[in-house]
């Protein structure tokens, strides 16, 4: 069961439309996304790199650049410590390319997901000391590594942190949060409470990119050279699932405009291997094709493979690594599919279905895909979900949440049961002793203030629009809102009592349903559905009967009428553009 909710903000859309020179429909969608200020709306529609904030506003950024510049001039050895996800790999790539361009003696190390775990650790620091490393610069990690950075400083190593994660804290007796910063020589993190940088939603690669902008300025390197990183920041921004608003929107939009002509040998090899080279690249390609292949090396192998591909200038080497990553990603997809099926079976055959927070122990699941499976289960049941699997010491897992439940705060209430945890309201990771697992499940459910209403999936509709008002002009204007993603979802529209003139199943695998919709003015518009066709047919049969279902597929007059929620899209065939709808929900 879903709850359909039509957003209906009170606003002077007529005036906003006249000021901005766009339709009231576009204005309504922007206001639905919290973009009500006229200047902010103008910036949203006309995202320009000139509107990016000055990187020097970041706390400690100039200090960090000054340290790196002096270390380069002194020929000191510098090591970049990254992370094993896409954001960490891309952040490392950006810093390594940039520091190398500046003449630094620089190398890198990325922790192994299973052997090392997240972020910098003492073993990495010991290895750096053995190798004569003078300076460590972290990217996409470090803000929570208080003890590890203290250990590095005691070893005489200079440490610069570049990160975007929340600053850890402790609570005093008055339950006030006291934020704890590591004792690094420079701490560049937009989440610092004393950082005045206006935009707080950059990913790790976004912070690294800002660092490089100022470093290049200080080293006298032309602006055109740091512009080559836009496409990589776009990949990391989309894959780290940060909100595509403000600077993130600008960075992704710019990156998408240039990635099709990439000069990076490794990225080009991966795009060719996945069959998207030469196509119009969008957010989907970054988030569901390029990113997962880079991520697969960090999940099932070692993330340095993905980084090596991006750094390679040898076509044959790059193509070989691209092939490996593509095959690893296919393996990851198969493992995920099997894991989801096993987890669903475990839930359905237990009393877990009664829980408001799912804690599912599946020891055989590879820990690297626990988070992906948690997300799939969350989508299916609309319930906060933790997938727990065996680890070298105890058990560990990943969680994915719904808007109504702050997962990080939930874990905070159970911290005495955990050996380690961290994350955000919508996603978290944790480690604990196996014996504490059932108690964790119990406490999470007892402390969760979720109601039955909270657990009902909600679909928010941007506007109700008659089919007769949908045309190519409307579809083309909606392009101004792209790129879509977290924080700027593709607009959803709805209409009631729509007649179905004809239905046909398309594709060699017969997985696409095409509906011919008829408006009250007897105009027709095509609608595509990528969901379960058997489920759709069963619904129509139950509501209208087998005869009406058959008449609908035969293109004959029928009694089928549906309320639909849909996206408005553009279909291009043989150079001819037409408007089409993408059905998302029906009733």
**How far, rounded to the nearest angstrom, does the alpha carbon of residue 213 sit from its chain's CA centroid?**
24
CATH of residue 473's domain is 2.40.50.460
CATH of residue 89's domain is 3.90.1640.30
Contact yes or no for 18/474 (Cβ under 8 A): no
pLDDT at 392: 79
pLDDT at 189: 97
Two structure tokens written together for 160: 């610069």
Tokens 């101004």 locate to 480
Residue 86: how many other CB atoms lie within 10 Å: 30
430 and 483 together in one domain: no
159 falls within a domain:
yes
43 falls within a domain:
no
Tokens 């090392």 locate to 116
101 falls within a domain:
yes
pLDDT over 90 percentage in the chain: 84
208 and 145 together in one domain: yes
CATH of residue 412's domain is 3.10.310.30
77 falls within a domain:
yes
533 falls within a domain:
yes
pLDDT at 116: 65
pLDDT higher than threshold 80 for residue 302:
no
30 falls within a domain:
no
484 falls within a domain:
yes
End position of a domain, from candidates 399, 423, 447: 447
Using only C-alpha atoms, the chain has a radius of gyration, in whole angstroms, of 26
Q: What would the DSSP string read from start to end of 84-113?
A: SSHHHHHHHHHHHHHHHHTT-EEEEE---T
End position of a domain, from candidates 270, 304, 335: 335
465 and 324 together in one domain: no
pLDDT at 114: 62
End position of a domain, from candidates 335, 361, 390: 335
506 and 388 together in one domain: no
Q: What would the DSSP string read from start to end of 146-172?
A: HHHHHHHHHTT-EEEEEE-SPPPEEE-
389 and 485 together in one domain: no
Q: Give the structural domain span for 365.
A: 350-447
467 and 559 together in one domain: yes
11 falls within a domain:
no
325 and 384 together in one domain: no
Separation of first and last alpha carbons in the chain: 10
441 and 357 together in one domain: yes
Two structure tokens written together for 422: 């961290």
289 and 330 together in one domain: yes
62 and 163 together in one domain: yes
Sign of the dihedral defined by the CA atoms of residues 278, 281, 284, 287, in that order: positive
Q: What angle do CA 124, 126, 127 make, to 5 degrees?
A: 65
Q: What angle do CA 309, 315, 317 make, to 5 degrees?
A: 50
The kind and range of the H/E element at 206 are helix 204-219
104 and 177 together in one domain: yes
Please count the structural domains in the chain.
4
Please give the average per-residue pLDDT across 168-195, as a whole number.
90
pLDDT at 300: 55
295 and 431 together in one domain: no
Convert the pLDDT of each residue in 367-409 to its tens digit: 889 999 999 999 999 999 999 999 878 999 999 999 999 998 8
Please give the average per-residue pLDDT across 233-243, as a whole number.
94
pLDDT at 171: 77
Q: What angle do CA 152, 157, 158 make, to 5 degrees?
A: 110
């Amino acid at each position: 069961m879903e709850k359909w909710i039509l957003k209906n903000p009170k606003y002077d859309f007529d005036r906003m439309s006249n000021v901005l020179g766009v339709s009231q429909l576009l204005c309504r969608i922007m206001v639905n996304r919290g973009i009500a200020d006229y200047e902010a709306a103008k910036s949203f529609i006309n995202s320009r790199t000139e509107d990016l904030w000055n990187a020097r506003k970041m706390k400690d950024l100039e200090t960090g650049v000054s340290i790196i510049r002096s270390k380069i001039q002194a020929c000191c050895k510098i090591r970049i410590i990254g992370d094993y996800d896409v954001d960490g790999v891309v952040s490392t790539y950006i810093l390594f390319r940039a520091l190398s361009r500046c003449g630094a003696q620089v190398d890198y190390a990325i922790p192994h997901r299973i052997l090392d775990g997240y972020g910098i650790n003492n073993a990495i620091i010991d290895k750096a000391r053995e190798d004569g490393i003078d300076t460590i610069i972290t990217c996409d990690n470090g803000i929570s590594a208080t003890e590890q950075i203290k250990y590095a400083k005691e070893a005489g190593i200079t440490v610069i942190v570049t990160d975007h994660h929340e600053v850890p804290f402790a609570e005093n007796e008055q339950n006030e949060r006291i934020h704890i910063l590591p004792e690094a020589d420079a701490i560049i993190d937009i989440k610092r409470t004393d950082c005045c940088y206006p935009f707080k939603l950059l990913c790790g690669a976004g912070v690294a990119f800002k660092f490089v902008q100022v470093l290049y300025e200080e080293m006298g390197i032309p602006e055109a050279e740091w512009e080559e990183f836009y496409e990589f920041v776009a990949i990391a921004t989309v894959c780290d699932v940060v909100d595509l608003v403000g600077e993130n929107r600008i960075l992704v939009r710019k990156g998408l405009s240039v990635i099709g002509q990439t000069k990076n040998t490794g990225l080009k090899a991966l795009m060719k291997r996945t069959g998207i080279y030469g196509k119009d690249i969008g957010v989907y390609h970054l988030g569901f094709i390029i990113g997962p292949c880079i991520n697969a090396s960090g999940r099932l192998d070692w993330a340095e493979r993905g980084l090596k591909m991006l750094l390679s200038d040898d076509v044959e080497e790059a193509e070989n690594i691209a092939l490996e990553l593509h095959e690893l990603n296919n393996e990851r997809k198969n493992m995920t599919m099997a894991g989801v099926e096993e987890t669903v079976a475990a839930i359905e055959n237990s009393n877990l279905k009664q829980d408001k927070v799912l804690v599912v122990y599946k020891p055989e699941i590879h820990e690297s895909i626990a988070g992906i499976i948690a997300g799939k289960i969350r989508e299916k049941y609309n319930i906060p979900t933790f997938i727990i699997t065996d680890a070298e010491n105890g058990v560990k897992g990943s969680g994915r949440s719904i808007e109504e439940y702050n997962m990080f705060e939930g874990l905070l209430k159970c911290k005495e049961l955990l050996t380690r945890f961290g994350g955000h309201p919508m996603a978290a990771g944790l480690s604990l002793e196996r014996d504490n697992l059932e108690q964790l499940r119990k406490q999470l459910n007892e402390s969760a203030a979720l109601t039955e209403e909270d657990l009902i999936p909600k679909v928010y509709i941007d506007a109700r629009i008659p089919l007769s008002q949908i045309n190519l002009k409307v579809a083309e204007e909606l392009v101004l809102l792209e790129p879509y993603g977290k924080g700027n979802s593709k607009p959803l529209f709805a209409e009631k009592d729509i007649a179905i003139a004809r239905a046909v199943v398309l594709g060699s695998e017969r997985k696409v349903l095409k509906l011919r919709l008829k408006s009250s003015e007897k105009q027709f518009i095509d609608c595509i559905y990528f969901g379960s066709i058997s489920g759709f047919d069963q619904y129509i049969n139950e509501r209208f009967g087998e005869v009406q279902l058959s008449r609908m597929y035969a293109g004959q007059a029928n009694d089928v009428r549906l309320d639909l929620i849909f996206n408005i899209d553009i279909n291009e065939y043989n150079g001819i553009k037409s408007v089409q709808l993408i059905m998302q929900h029906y009733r």
